[in-house]
Amino acid sequence: MKKFLFFVFVCFLSSIIFSDLGKYEGWEKTWVQHFLTKKEQKEFKKLKTEKEAEDFVLLFWAKRDPTPGTPRNEFKERCEMLVKIADKDYSTEKMKGSLTDRGKVLLLLGPPFARKEVAYSDSEGNLKGEGVNMTESQSAFMYGKMDVWQYRKEQLSRLPFELPWQELVVEFKKEEGQKDFYLNRNLANVLKAISLAQEGWIKSPDLKEVPEWAKTMGVSPFILLSEKILKGEEPLKKDTALTTYGIFYDSNNQTYGSNIIVFDENSPIKDQKEVNIFLQILDKDNNEVLKIEDKVAPQQTIRGFYLDRSFLISEGNYKLLQIVGKDDSSVLYSNLIDINVPNFRNWE
Please report, for the domain that includes residue 257, its CATH number.
Answer: 2.60.40.2550
Angle of helix 101-109 relative to helix 188-200, nearest 10 degrees?
60
Query: What average pLDDT does the chain have?
Result: 85
- CA dist 5 → 8, 12, 46, 56, 193 (Å): 5, 11, 21, 31, 41
Question: Does 3 score more than 70 pLDDT?
Answer: no
Percentage of the residues of the chain whose pLDDT score is greater than 90 = 54
Residue 58 lies in domain: 20-200
Could you say which of 200, 233, 256 is where a domain stops?
200
Which DSSP state fits 206? T
Q: What are phi and psi of 135, to 5 degrees?
A: -75, 170
The verdict on pTM exceeding 0.75 is no
In a domain, 87, yes or no: yes
- Closest among 306, 311, 274 to 292, alpha carbons compared: 311
CA–chain centroid gap for 92, Å, is: 20
Mean pLDDT over 182-204 rounds to: 95
More confident residue, 252 or 291: 291
Question: Does 37 score more than 60 pLDDT?
Answer: yes
For the residues of 244-258, what is the DSSP string, one character each?
EEEEEEEETTEEEEE
64 & 184 share domain: yes
138 & 274 share domain: no
More confident residue, 303 or 277: 277
Question: Does 204 score more than 90 pLDDT?
Answer: yes
In a domain, 10, yes or no: no
Q: What pLDDT shows up at residue 346? A: 62
| Number of structural domains the chain divides into | 2
Q: Give the three-state DSSP class for 115.
A: strand
In a domain, 208, yes or no: no
CA–chain centroid gap for 178, Å, is: 30
